[in-house]
């Protein structure tokens, strides 16, 4: 880091902006349903009177910290702070019920730090080269990425693939609502303009995850009227545990963090992928990398799962900046709003930014990297206090969480319809859980279904006389993803076959011994 | 003790923030109370039909200080996106016409209802148009290293013989309409490829997957400035001040074809004519402020003021153009 960058970075205005971005981001992240896009939208007008470097450092700090802050409520209350924390809620909340909420937050913190710093370092070192990856992708590739993502539903279904597929199908149907992209035909909108843009992800998430969980908790209140324990199932279990992973644990987490961060970075770079799927991809990679008992814990309280999802979703932030700063192409929805912020402050994205405006862009990038470290300090500061939420009686927690969920769903688009949808999906999620249908595949399919449809439509429009198969076959990257899809589909069957074979061999050995 | 104080400080910050969020992305700008008369110190809300941070929202927020000079009022900006603007428009169609609720509008309003699938039959006739602020001219751009054509004329000749794909953000807005209008008038074979994400659309063109990019000047300018895209033509009666070297469609083909996104202000119908005139007068002075125009030009937005009647004409012209291509749109 040269002296000129340091002299710009370590000025009171930049440091104060970074601190403000981290603090505000932490609280917006913790409040369910708000998310990074809204946070940046709210803060852009505040930055109007600021100099470019502190303004953009504030916004960049906000982006990464909101993503991290959402993991707190995802873990402690099964309420993702934003859609990028949904995968964390799957195992995070199970860990809280076992009294390991603090440990889960610790793993989330270290993983978020790793992912965020990794993304920042890549942005610093090889942004122009990485940005070229974004240019290799278009409709056909994004379509196959969506299909590949949909094959992950199998891994989220737990022990019952059929129920997982049904949940996924429900998500695909939900994703059909709205204006069809190729023909602008309104589907299942019933003449309601609020449904033209489809059913928003935030109210669905808050309903399926948060409200449904609170309804289940309300059932447990039952005849006693109230219970005097929080969410920890064993009231004698103290909510202690270490925050930071031990050296032995880091040996397991480190490879997962590396792989998930690379995947998250790549997801962030691709403008059509959307940041929301980053955490799911990281979670799936963590599951794929885990073995034995670690693998069995997924869905029942796996720290590896949290490690994967949180590394990936913070790496998405860094990845989204790469095409944004080098090509002026935002890699995620939040980055698209950030582009407006750059424009207002006279920063023109492009390769020349790194030469002609180096005194602005490099302090911004380093400011972003440092903000990841600052956010962890804030996380450490509040973690033990926040983790005690798990021991607050449920009859206090439930109404607060429900109110917060409704505020979050209304704040998303200022529409009462979103609040009604939250209630609807809350009831749906409740009955799904009672019938042992997982809700995670519904959310994933809701994100990927429209992505697949839009990009298939675009692919068909850009064929130029080729057949559809011909179009896909003519693109090398499509072959790569098609092979991955095939592997992803047959892998469970191969694993089951191997398990059966090993089981038969063990049985025959035991028979022989007898 | 220090930890407690720090936590209290952070809690105070976080409770301050939702107070701004609950109003729906509202931003409040105070004015100096120097003018006697309307609105007597009351708040004026500008309802923006798109999300915060985009070029539409930007155009309003940059105007705020200049509105402050003209009005004796406190302004708040409220973002209500959704339904291509219709959520915002229909939410405020029945507001009191007392001038305290201004609405941002664009000229897609009058032709979207021509779509038989659209449930909206409202139009600009159901509102009081006040002033046009920005006319963002439609343009076509290609990637800089495309060796097949270097001028718009060459592109047209190529497109008469070969299918040429064009990235557009949506069917039913000016980006796609201009494609069908060109095909109608020139006999070309431009084919729209709908890519909703502008980032993905630009990447598709720069990466060579789609041939041409159709969007407004403001959306193309960043890539043009960086040298990734080359502008071919603008669809306006005269050359844009932002791109003085880029020819108009009429210059190249001899055929008149104007296409743009005109954005401005309106209010609910039925207001006192004297009040309407006063608001129009203040908007005119704010919009025509040279400093404001300069700031907007820096963000590639071209400020063009039209009064209520001329603004209405733009709506009618846009709708008339779409009537000509209804069958191409499937309407």
What's the per-residue H, E or C state across B270-303?
Answer: CCCHHHHHHHHHHHHHHHCCHHHHHHHHHCCCCE
The per-residue pLDDT for A507 is 55
A344 inside 8 A of chain B by CB: yes
Confidence tier at B21 by pLDDT (50, 70, 90): very low
Q: What is the bridge-based pairing of β-strands B164-168 and B190-194?
A: parallel
CB proximity A188 to B under 8 Å:
no
What span, in angstroms and rounded, lies between the C-alpha atoms of A414 and B194? 28
Tokens of B59: 């155009």
Q: A483: which residues sit within 8 A by CB, 6+ positions away?
A: none
- CA–CA dist B188, B191 (Å, integer): 9
Find, among B328, B175, B201, the residue nearest to B259 by Cα: B175
Look up tokens 């080269």; give the residue.
A129
What was the pLDDT predicted at B1?
Answer: 62
Residue of A nearest to B164 (CA): A464
Please choose, from the candidates A251, A255, A285, the residue with its C-alpha nearest in 3D space to the C-alpha of residue A87.
Answer: A285
> How far, in Å, CA of A315 to CA of A118, rounded?
7
Interior CA angle at A75 toward A69 and A78, to 5°?
110
Of all residues in chain B, the one with the smallest CA distance to A343 is: B299
Q: Do A349 and B330 make contact, defined as CB atoms within 8 angstroms?
A: no
**Residue A508 in contact with partner chain B when CB distance is under 8 A:** no
| Nearest residue of chain A to residue B295 (CA atoms) | A344
Q: Which residues contact A435 (CB under 8 A, 6 or more apart)?
A: none
How many residues in chain B? 331
pLDDT of residue B17: 47
A114 pLDDT band, cuts 50/70/90, is very high
pLDDT above 90 covers what percent of chain A?
34
Closest CA to B279 of B271, B289, B291: B271
Angle at A273 between CA A462 and CA A136, to 5 degrees: 55
Q: List, in sequence order, every residue forming a beta bridge with B214; answer none if it has no partner.
A: B140
Q: How far is B209 from chain A (nearest CA, A)?
A: 7
Phi, psi of A180 (to 5 degrees): -70, 135
C-alpha distance from B81 to closest chain A C-alpha (Å): 7
Counting beta carbons within 10 angstroms of the beta carbon of residue B163, is it exposed (0 to 12), middle (13 to 18) or buried (19 or more)? middle
Alpha carbon of A27: minimum distance to chain B alpha carbons (Å): 6
E strand or H helix at B23: none
Interchain proximity B6–A331, CB inside 8 Å: no
| ipTM beyond cut 0.85 | no
Chain A contact set for B214 (CB, 8 A): none
Mean pLDDT of B286-291: 94
Element at A161 (helix H, strand E) = helix A161-176
State pLDDT tens for residues B74-115.
Answer: 898 888 877 778 888 988 999 999 899 999 998 888 877 777
How many Å lie between the alpha carbon of B126 and the closest alpha carbon of chain A?
18
Report the distance separating Cα A472 and Cα A482, nearest Å: 9
Residues in chain B with CB shorter than 8 Å from the CB of A407 are 18, 22
pLDDT for position B16: 45
Note whether A349 contacts B: Cβ–Cβ < 8 A.
Answer: yes
CATH architecture of B20-135+261-326: 3-Layer(aba) Sandwich (3.40)
Query: If pLDDT is split at 50, 70 and 90, which confidence band does A477 have?
Result: very high
Residues in a beta bridge with A501? none
- Tokens representing B61 are 């927020």
CA angle, A339 as apex, A336 and A345 as ends, to 5°?
160
Confidence check: pLDDT of A310 > 70: yes
What is the pLDDT at residue B56?
A: 85
Shortest Cα distance, chain A CAs vs residue B184, angstroms: 19
Most B-contacting residue of A32, A42, A475, A476 (CB-CB within 10 A), to test interface: A42
pLDDT for A512 beyond 90:
no
Residue of chain A nearest B13, judged by CA positions: A24
CATH topology of domain B137-259: D-Maltodextrin-Binding Protein; domain 2 (3.40.190)
Q: Strands (DSSP E) along chain B, which ranges?
A: 27-29, 43-48, 74-79, 101-106, 127-143, 164-168, 190-194, 212-216, 229-234, 260-268, 303-306
Q: Looking at the complex, does the CB of residue A11 fall below 8 Å from at least one CB of chain B?
A: no
Amino acid A224: pLDDT: 55
Q: CA A189, CA A196: separation in Å to the nearest integer?
A: 6
pLDDT for A360: 87
Q: Could A464 and B163 be called an inter-chain contact, meaning their C-beta atoms sit closer than 8 Å?
A: yes
pLDDT above 90: percentage of residues in chain B: 42
Contacts of residue A403, Cβ cutoff 8 Å, sequence gap at least 6: none
Interface check for A461 against chain B (CB to CB < 8 A): the answer is yes
pLDDT of residue B308: 95
B307 closest CA partner among B265, B272, B270, B269: B265
Q: What per-residue string of b and e applies to A416-428 under the rule 16 or more CB within 10 Å gives b?
A: ebbbebbbebbeb
Residues contacting A92, CB < 8 A, separation 6+: A71, A74, A75, A76, A78, A101, A104, A108, A306
Average pLDDT over residues A126-155: 86
Give the pLDDT mean for A353-373. Answer: 88
Higher pLDDT, A495 or A75: A75
- When CB atoms are compared, the residue of A197, A327, A414 closest to B83 is A197
> Chain A contacts of B117, Cβ < 8 Å?
184-186
Gap between the Cα atoms of A136 and A142, Å rounded: 11
pLDDT of residue B8: 58
Which residue of B14, B17, B163 is in closest CB contact with A465? B163
CA B200 – CA A339 distance, rounded (Å):
14
Give the residue from A287, A295, A256, A326 showing the smallest Cα distance to A115.
A256
Chain B CB within 8 Å of residue A183 CB: yes
Please check whether residue B247 is in contact with residue B233, taking contact to mean a CB–CB distance below 8 angstroms. Answer: yes
Q: Which residue of A has its CA nearest to B220?
A: A328
Average pLDDT over chain B, rounded to an integer: 84
* CB-CB under 8 Å, A191 with B206: no
DSSP code per residue over A363-382: HHHHHHHHHHHHHHHHHHHH
Q: Which residue of A has its CA nearest to B194?
A: A458
d(CA B311, CA B263): 9
* Contact call for A45 and B77, based on CB within 8 A: yes
241-280 in A: which are within 8 Å (CB) of B? 271-272
CA–CA separation, A334 and A39 (whole Å): 9
- Give the DSSP letter of residue B168: E
Buried/exposed code over B18-52 (b: 16+ C-beta within 10 A; e: otherwise): bebbebbbbbebebeeeeeebbeeeebbbbbbbbb
Residues in Cβ contact with A225 at an 8 Å cutoff, skipping those fewer than 6 apart: none
Query: Do the strands B74-79 and B43-48 form a parallel or antiparallel pair, or are they unpaired?
Result: parallel
A residues 57-116 lying closer than 8 A (beta carbon) to B:
none
For β-strands B212-216 and B229-234, DSSP reports them as unpaired
Residue appearing with tokens 């008369």: B37
Radius of gyration of chain B from its Cα atoms, rounded to whole angstroms:
22
Q: What is the mean pLDDT of residues A9-33?
A: 89
pLDDT of amino acid A228 = 47
Give the pLDDT of residue B10: 60
Chosen for mutation from B203, B295, B301 (greatest number of chain A CBs closer than 10 Å) is B203
Which residues of chain A make contact with B159, given a CB cutoff of 8 A?
A: none
Confidence of residue B24 (pLDDT cuts 50, 70, 90): very low
Taking CB atoms and an 8 Å cutoff, what residues of chain B touch A344?
58, 299
A-chain residue closest to B7, CA distance: A382
Q: Which among A275, A462, A463 is the top mutation candidate for probing chain B, defined by the most B β-carbons within 10 Å of its own β-carbon?
A: A462
B33-84 pLDDT, tens digit per residue, is 333 567 877 889 999 988 776 778 888 988 988 998 888 788 988 888 777 7
- Residue B140 is encoded by which pair of tokens? 């076509």
3-state secondary structure of A438: coil
- Name the band, by pLDDT with cuts 50, 70 and 90, for residue A240: low
Q: Compute the mean pLDDT over every residue in chain A, rounded to the nearest whole number.
A: 84
- A143 contacts on B by Cβ (under 8 Å): none
Q: pLDDT tens across B188-226, in order? A: 999 999 988 888 889 899 999 999 999 999 888 888 988
Do residues A76 and A390 lie in contact, with contact meaning Cβ atoms separated by under 8 Å? yes
pLDDT in the model for residue B331: 67
Residue A82 pLDDT level (bands cut at 50, 70, 90): confident
- Closest chain A residue to B173 measured between Cα atoms? A184
Residue corresponding to tokens 């303009």: A193
Reduced 3-state DSSP string for A12-81: HHHHHHHHHHHHHHHHHHHCCCCHHHHHHHHHCHHHHHCCHHHHHHHHHHHHHHHHHHHHHHHHHHCCCC
Residues of chain A contacting B82 with CB distance shorter than 8 Å: 193-194, 196-197, 413, 415
Q: Which of these, A98, A102, A78, A81, lies nearest to A89 by C-alpha position? A: A78
User: What integer is the mean pLDDT of B258-273?
Assistant: 91
Q: What integer pLDDT is reported at residue B73 of this predicted model? A: 84
Q: B313 vs B55, which has greater pLDDT?
A: B313
- Name the packing angle between helices A440-461 and A86-97 (round to 10°): 170
Q: Whose CA is closest to A172, among A204, A212, A209, A210?
A: A204
Q: Which of B6, B53, B81 sits opposite A340 (nearest CB)?
A: B53
Q: pLDDT grade, residue B6 (50/70/90)?
A: low
Question: Please, what is the Cα angle at B101 between B95 and B107, to 5 degrees?
Answer: 90
Residue of A343, A374, A404 to mutate, testing the B interface (most B Cβ within 10 Å of its Cβ): A343
How far is it, in rounded angstroms, from Cα B223 to Cα B208?
A: 15
**Whole-number Å distance between alpha carbons of A234 and B255:** 79
Length reported for chain A = 514
At residue A312, the pLDDT reads: 94
pLDDT in tens, B146-167: 999 889 999 999 999 999 999 9
Output the six-digit token pair for B161: 């013989």
Using CA atoms, how far apart are residues A131 and A513, in angstroms rounded to an integer? 61
- For the cut 60, the answer to whether the pLDDT of residue A514 exceeds it is no
In the predicted structure, residue A244 carries a pLDDT above the cut 90:
no
DSSP letter assigned to residue B236: S
Question: Which residues on B lie below 8 Å from A352 (Cβ)?
Answer: 226
**Least confident piece of the model among A349-358, A429-438, B144-153:** A349-358
Give residue A237's pLDDT band: very low, low, confident or very high (50, 70, 90): very low
Residue A302, phi then psi, degrees to nearest 5: -105, 120
| Pairwise CB contact (< 8 Å): B228 & A349 | no
pLDDT at A513: 45
Determine the pLDDT at residue B34: 36
Q: CA-based Rg of chain A, rounded to a whole angstrom?
A: 23
Q: Tell me what pLDDT residue B279 has.
A: 92
Nearest to A197 among B82, B90, B120 (CB): B82
CB contact under 8 A, B171 and A186: no
Place of tokens 């961060």: A261
For B219, the closest chain A residue by CA position comes to A328
Tokens (6 digits) for B27: 């931003």
User: What are the boundaries of each domain within chain B?
Assistant: 20-135+261-326, 137-259
Task: Please check whether the two domains, B20-135+261-326 and B137-259, share a CATH topology.
Answer: yes
Query: Can you tell me the mean pLDDT for A145-156?
Result: 82
Q: What is the pLDDT of residue B190?
A: 94
Q: Could you give the CA distance from residue B49 to residue A193 in angstroms, rounded to a whole number?
A: 13
């Amino acid at each position: 880091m040269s002296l000129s960058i340091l002299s710009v970075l370590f000025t009171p205005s930049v440091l104060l902006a970074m601190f403000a971005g981290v603090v505000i981001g932490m609280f917006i992240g913790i409040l369910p349903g708000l998310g990074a896009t809204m946070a940046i939208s709210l803060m852009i007008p505040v930055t109007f009177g600021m100099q470019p470097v502190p303004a953009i450092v504030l916004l960049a700090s906000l982006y990464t910290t909101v993503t991290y802050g959402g993991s707190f409520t995802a873990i402690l209350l099964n309420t993702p702070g934003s859609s990028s924390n949904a995968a964390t809620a799957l195992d995070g909340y199970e860990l809280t019920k076992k009294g390991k909420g603090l440990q889960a937050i610790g793993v989330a913190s270290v993983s978020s730090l790793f992912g965020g710093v990794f993304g920042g370092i890549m942005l610093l070192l090889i942004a122009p080269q990485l940005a070229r990856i974004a240019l290799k992708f278009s409709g056909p590739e994004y379509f196959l990425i969506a299909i590949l993502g949909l094959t992950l539903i199998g891994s989220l279904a737990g022990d019952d693939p059929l129920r997982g597929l049904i949940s996924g199908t429900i998500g695909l149907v939900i994703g059909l609502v709205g204006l069809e992209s190729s023909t602008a035909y309104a589907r299942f909108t019933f003449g309601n303009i609020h449904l033209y843009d489809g059913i928003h992800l935030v109210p669905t998430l808050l309903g399926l995850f948060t409200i449904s969980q609170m309804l289940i908790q309300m059932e447990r209140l039952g005849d006693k009227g109230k219970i005097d324990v929080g969410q920890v199932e064993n009231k004698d279990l103290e909510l202690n545990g270490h925050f930071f992973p031990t050296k032995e644990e880091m040996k397991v987490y480190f490879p997962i963090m590396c792989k998930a961060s690379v995947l998250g970075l790549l997801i962030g770079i691709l403008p059509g992928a959307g940041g929301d799927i980053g955490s799911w991809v990281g979670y799936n990679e963590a599951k794929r990398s885990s073995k034995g008992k670690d693998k069995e814990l997924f869905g029942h309280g796996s720290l590896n799962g949290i490690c994967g999802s949180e590394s990936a979703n913070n790496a998405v932030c860094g990845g989204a900046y790469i095409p944004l700063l080098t090509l002026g192409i935002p890699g995620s929805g939040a980055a698209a709003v950030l582009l407006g912020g750059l424009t207002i402050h006279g920063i023109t994205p492009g390769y020349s930014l790194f030469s002609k405006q180096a005194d602005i862009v490099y302090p911004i990038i380093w400011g972003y990297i440092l903000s990841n470290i600052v956010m962890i300090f804030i996380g450490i500061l509040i973690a033990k206090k926040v983790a005690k939420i798990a021991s607050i009686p449920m009859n206090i927690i439930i109404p607060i969480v429900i109110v917060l969920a409704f505020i979050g769903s209304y704040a998303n688009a200022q529409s009462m319809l979103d609040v009604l949808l939250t209630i609807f999906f809350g009831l749906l999620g409740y009955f799904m859980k009672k019938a042992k249908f997982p809700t995670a595949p519904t959310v994933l399919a809701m994100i990927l279904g429209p992505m697949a449809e839009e990009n298939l439509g675009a692919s068909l429009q850009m064929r130029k006389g080729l057949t559809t198969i011909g179009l896909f076959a003519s693109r090398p990257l499509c072959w790569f993803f098609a092979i991955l899809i095939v592997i992803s589909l047959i892998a469970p069957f191969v694993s089951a076959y191997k398990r059966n074979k090993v089981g038969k061999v063990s049985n025959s050995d035991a028979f022989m011994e007898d | 003790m220090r930890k407690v104080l720090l936590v209290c400080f952070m809690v105070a910050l976080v409770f301050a923030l939702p107070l701004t969020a609950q109003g729906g992305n509202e931003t409040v700008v105070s004015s100096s109370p120097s003018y006697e008369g309307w609105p007597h110190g009351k708040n004026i809300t500008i309802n923006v039909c798109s999300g915060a941070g985009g070029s539409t929202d930007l155009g309003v927020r940059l105007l705020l200080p200049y509105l402050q000079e003209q009005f004796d009022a406190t302004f708040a900006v409220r973002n209500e996106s959704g339904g291509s603007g219709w959520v915002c428009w229909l939410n405020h169609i029945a507001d009191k016409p007392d001038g305290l609720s201004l609405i941002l509008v664009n000229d897609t309003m009058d032709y979207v209802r021509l779509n038989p699938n659209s449930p909206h039959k409202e139009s600009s006739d159901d509102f009081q148009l006040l002033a046009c602020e920005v006319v963002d001219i439609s343009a076509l751009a290609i990637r800089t290293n495309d060796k097949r054509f270097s001028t718009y004329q060459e592109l047209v000749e190529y497109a008469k013989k070969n299918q040429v794909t064009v990235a557009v953000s949506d069917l039913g807005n000016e980006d796609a309409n201009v494609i069908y209008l060109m095909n109608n008038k020139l006999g070309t074979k431009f084919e729209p490829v709908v890519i909703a994400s502008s980032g993905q659309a630009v990447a598709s063109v720069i990466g060579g997957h789609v041939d041409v990019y159709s969007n407004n000047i403001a959306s193309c300018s960043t890539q043009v400035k960086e040298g990734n895209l080359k502008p071919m033509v603008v669809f306006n009666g005269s050359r844009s001040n932002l791109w003085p070297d880029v020819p108009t469609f009429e210059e190249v083909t001899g055929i008149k074809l104007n296409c743009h996104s005109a954005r401005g202000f309106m209010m609910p119908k039925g207001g006192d004519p004297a009040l309407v005139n006063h608001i129009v007068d203040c908007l005119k002075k704010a919009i025509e402020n040279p400093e404001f125009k300069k700031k907007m030009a820096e963000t590639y937005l071209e400020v063009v003021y039209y009064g209520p009647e001329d603004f209405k004409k733009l709506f009618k012209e846009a709708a008339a153009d779409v009537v000509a291509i209804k069958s191409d749109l499937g309407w």
